[in-house]
């Protein structure tokens, strides 16, 4: 293994010079710099991560914690993880993947050991177990999702309330008066992850303002469940002409069932989904949808955590905590249309 000392000898300079060439923390004359860089290349030198971390007490690693509840939509998680990893690299950081199995201890362990010098938490619950730690740890942390008490926390999420309102606005514009929400699995609400409630709240709020009627029913993704939910909806509110779906798994079954029941989309029923763009575009009927901006969320989380990391040590209020709710965007596709005139 080639060390910095060897590079220094090879280039005929001191160790510190090599170090500074690498970090750019002090000005180096062009000739020396080039000589050093050449030596680095020729010797195939890679700075040792452990030594660097020890000497600088910065590991250049961001911990990404994702407690993987079975009912979460994996592709979105995955997209976020990828965006986090990609963006982290742009800041010369790597990403350590932590799952939920160890519980809050995992976070304690990685920051306590200095393995990670920042962390990003996914799948945040309203009363998340990790929050106490996040609040006391000196390392910067960003949550993807919104707990109930956000004091002193930096969070990133889609603005789900606005999302709910946006869906209603769109349907209202098309003349729909009775709408239904096919929600997430009951487990999601019980776990109180927040985002599902927030969407429904937004829907209810705007619907009230516009004098529309809303029926909300939870629904796990299975075909049977969707069939049941749909049956109940049309049973209780036969006039329902607009549906908002928030559970990706329920989408294809829903379209399939509507078709079977002879309800044409969008002629008889309009459907708005809250899901990744990719899903919306690939379904049997292209879906009017509000995108879940997984990439942006991942990227933003890293940017925020890095900003706070950069300012770390400069006192407590270097960069103030901040709640960043991404504005929803609705894309009109083929699944929504004017409400049926006859009612």
Partner DNA sequence: CTGAAAGCGCTAACAC
Partner DNA sequence: GTGTTAGCGCTTTCAG
Residues near a second copy (CB under 8 A) are 1, 44, 46-54, 57, 59, 61, 64, 68, 74-75, 77-79, 81-82, 85-86, 89, 94-99, 101-102, 108-110, 112-115, 221-223, 249, 252-253, 255-256, 259-260, 282-284
Span interacting with DNA, options 8-16, 92-100, 293-301, 308-316, rule CB under 7 A: 8-16
Burial degree of 54 (CB within 10 A; 0-12, 13-18, 19+) = exposed
Q: Are 303 and 259 in contact (CB under 8 A)?
A: no
Among DNA, a second copy, none, the one that 287 touches (CB under a kind-dependent 5 to 8 A) is none
Contacts of 80 (CB under 8 A, 6+ apart): 122, 144, 294, 295, 297, 298, 301
222 binds DNA (CB under 7 A): no
Least separation in angstroms between CB 179 and a second copy: 25
150: left (phi over 0), alpha (psi -120 to 50) or beta: alpha
Burial 124-137 (b: 16+ CB within 10 A, else e): bbeebebbebbeeb
Per-residue CA distances from 171 to 25, 195, 294 (Å): 57, 21, 25
Among DNA, a second copy, none, the one that 31 touches (CB under a kind-dependent 5 to 8 A) is DNA
Round to whole Å and give the CA distance between 279 and 95.
Answer: 27
Q: Are 204 and 214 in contact (CB under 8 A)?
A: yes
Contact with DNA (CB under 7 A) among 9, 43, 47, 215:
47
Q: What is the CA radius of gyration of the chain?
A: 25
Least separation in angstroms between CB 94 and a second copy: 6
Round to whole Å and give the CA distance between 292 and 202.
Answer: 16
Closest-CA residue to 154 (of 300, 297, 321): 321
Per-residue CA distances from 25 to 17, 61, 260, 313 (Å): 10, 20, 67, 18
- Between 9 and 213, whose beta carbon lies closer to DNA? 9
Least separation in angstroms between CB 34 and DNA: 10
Size of site (CB under 7 A) for DNA: 31
Round to whole Å and give the CA distance between 311 and 316.
Answer: 9
Among a second copy, DNA, none, the one that 275 touches (CB under a kind-dependent 5 to 8 A) is none
Contact with DNA (CB under 7 A) among 23, 99, 129, 148:
23
Helix (H) or strand (E) holding 78: helix 74-90
Least separation in angstroms between CB 5 and DNA: 6
29 binds DNA (CB under 7 A): yes
Contact with DNA (CB under 7 A) among 9, 10, 17, 323:
17
Among DNA, a second copy, none, the one that 16 touches (CB under a kind-dependent 5 to 8 A) is DNA
- Between 56 and 173, whose beta carbon lies closer to DNA? 56
44 binds DNA (CB under 7 A): no
Residues 50-89 that bind DNA (CB under 7 A): 51-52, 54-57
| Alpha-carbon torsion (101, 104, 105, 107), positive or negative | positive
Least separation in angstroms between CB 307 and DNA: 19
- Between 285 and 325, whose beta carbon lies closer to a second copy? 285
Contact with DNA (CB under 7 A) among 9, 37, 43, 48:
48
Round to whole Å and give the CA distance between 165 and 171.
Answer: 10
- Between 29 and 70, whose beta carbon lies closer to DNA? 29
Contact footprint for DNA (CB under 7 A): 1, 3-5, 12-17, 19-20, 22-23, 25-29, 31-33, 45, 47-48, 51-52, 54-57
């Amino acid at each position: 293994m080639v060390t910095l000392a060897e590079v220094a000898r090879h280039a005929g300079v001191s160790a510190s010079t090599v170090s500074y060439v690498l970090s750019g923390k002090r000005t180096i004359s062009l000739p020396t710099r080039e000589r050093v860089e050449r030596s680095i290349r020729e010797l195939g030198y890679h700075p040792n991560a452990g030594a660097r971390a020890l000497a600088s007490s910065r590991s250049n690693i961001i911990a990404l914690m994702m407690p993987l509840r079975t009912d979460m939509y994996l592709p979105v998680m995955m997209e976020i993880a990828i965006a986090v990893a990609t963006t982290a690299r742009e800041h010369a950081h790597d990403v350590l993947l932590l799952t939920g199995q160890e519980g809050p201890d995992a976070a304690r362990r990685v920051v306590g050991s200095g393995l990670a010098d920042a962390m990003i938490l996914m799948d945040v619950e309203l009363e998340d177990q990790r929050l106490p730690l996040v609040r006391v740890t000196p390392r910067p942390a960003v949550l993807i999702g919104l707990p109930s008490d956000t004091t002193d926390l930096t969070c990133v999420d889609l603005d789900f309330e606005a999302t709910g309102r946006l869906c209603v606005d769109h349907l209202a514009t098309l003349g729909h008066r009775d709408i239904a929400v096919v929600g997430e699995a009951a487990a999601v609400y019980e776990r109180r992850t927040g985002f599902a409630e927030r969407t429904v709240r937004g829907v209810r709020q705007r619907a009230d303002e516009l004098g529309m009627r809303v029926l909300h029913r939870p629904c796990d993704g299975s075909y049977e469940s969707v069939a049941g939910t749909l049956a109940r909806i049309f049973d209780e509110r036969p006039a329902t002409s607009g549906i908002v779906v928030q559970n990706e798994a329920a989408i294809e079954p829903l379209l399939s069932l509507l078709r079977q029941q002879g309800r044409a989309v969008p002629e008889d029923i309009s459907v708005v989904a809250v899901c990744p763009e990719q899903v919306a575009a690939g379904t049997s009927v292209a879906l009017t949808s509000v995108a879940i901006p997984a990439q942006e969320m991942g990227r933003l989380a890293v940017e925020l955590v890095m900003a706070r990391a950069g300012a770390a040590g400069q006192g407590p209020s270097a960069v103030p905590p901040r709640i960043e709710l991404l504005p929803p965007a609705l894309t009109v596709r083929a699944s929504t249309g004017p409400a049926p005139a006859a009612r």
